[in-house]
Amino acid sequence: MTAVPSLPLRAGSRRGLRFPGLPSWPWRITWTYLTLILFLPLSGMLLKAAGVGPAGFWEAATSPEAIASYKVSFGVAALASLINGVFGLVVAWALVRCRFPGQRLLDSLIDLPFALPTAVAGLALSYVYSTEGWLGRPLMELFGLRVSFTVVGVGVAMVFISLPFVVRTVEPVLRSLEKEQEEAAWSLGANEPQTFFKVVLPQLMPAILGGVAQGYSRAVGEYGSVVMIASNVPFKDLITPTLIIQKLEEYDFNSATVIGTVMLLFALVSLLVINALQVWGHRYQNG
């Protein structure tokens, strides 16, 4: 048996493909761009916030105005994303498990809040829910419920903006579920609700929570549509992003920075939560 002569690997033949000695061009572009576009502004704000000092930071972050705006932003967004958690599941179910006329239209309508500029959404919502609007008038006459220029309006805008998240995260998981499991549950004597709550829902839960978390994160940061439907009065329906803008207009840069940093920290936490939910979802599907 003769030894097969091993082909000498040309030194550096894989350079640029794996483990490059010098960073390749894409790598350089990525880091330069991220540094200029993202890290620089981020560190600028954190530096400014650090300059305020712990006592000043706490004072500005917990001023009564700020607390009231957190209550509106975080509270109403929670309500809006929970509503979408329930109805998003219903819509996803209808899109995956049912066949009906107009299904394609419904499917493409779901993406509209992603595609429509928030200013247009705000204009449309504030018209439809104004006291002369298509929905605002009946709501006012039948229930005495005023939507535009109130907290309810803020909620309506947040529901609009966060609807697609739950539908689009639940849809693929629901589609990949095996019908056999449900049939097995039925043949073992489980009735419809039991099958749904004990077999289907637990498997959908990571996706639902992931969608709710994404929608929540989006709704908390939403500005364009909310600012047009709300009255933007402090302690009434003022959301945190609008408070930041008002502080900037008053040249109160310190307060704006501190409240902006609070929003940034929230964004970081929500990113971690969303990632964790995704990891959990993958484990569920593979395991």
Q: Which of 16, 52, 168 is nearest to 107 (CA)?
A: 168
8 Å CB contact between 152 and 194: no
Closest approach, Cβ 62 to another protein, in A, equals 18
Closest approach, Cβ 233 to another protein, in A, equals 15
Residue closer to another protein by CB (options 83, 151) is 83
Closest approach, Cβ 190 to another protein, in A, equals 12
Residue closer to another protein by CB (options 81, 257) is 257
Residue closer to another protein by CB (options 150, 162) is 162
Residue closer to another protein by CB (options 17, 188) is 17
In this structure, the dihedral spanned by the alpha carbons of residues 103, 156, 167 and 104, taken in order and rounded to 10 degrees, is 20
Residue closer to another protein by CB (options 44, 202) is 44
Q: How many residues does the chain have?
A: 287
Closest approach, Cβ 160 to another protein, in A, equals 6
Closest approach, Cβ 247 to another protein, in A, equals 9
Quick check: helix, strand or coil at residue 17? coil
Calpha distance 154→157 (Å, rounded): 5
Closest approach, Cβ 2 to another protein, in A, equals 26
8 Å CB contact between 248 and 184: no
CB-based contacts of 208: which residues, under 8 Å, 6+ apart? 85, 88, 89, 166, 169, 170
Residue closer to another protein by CB (options 2, 191) is 191
Q: How far is CA 72 from CA 46, 131, 233, 268, in A?
A: 25, 22, 11, 20
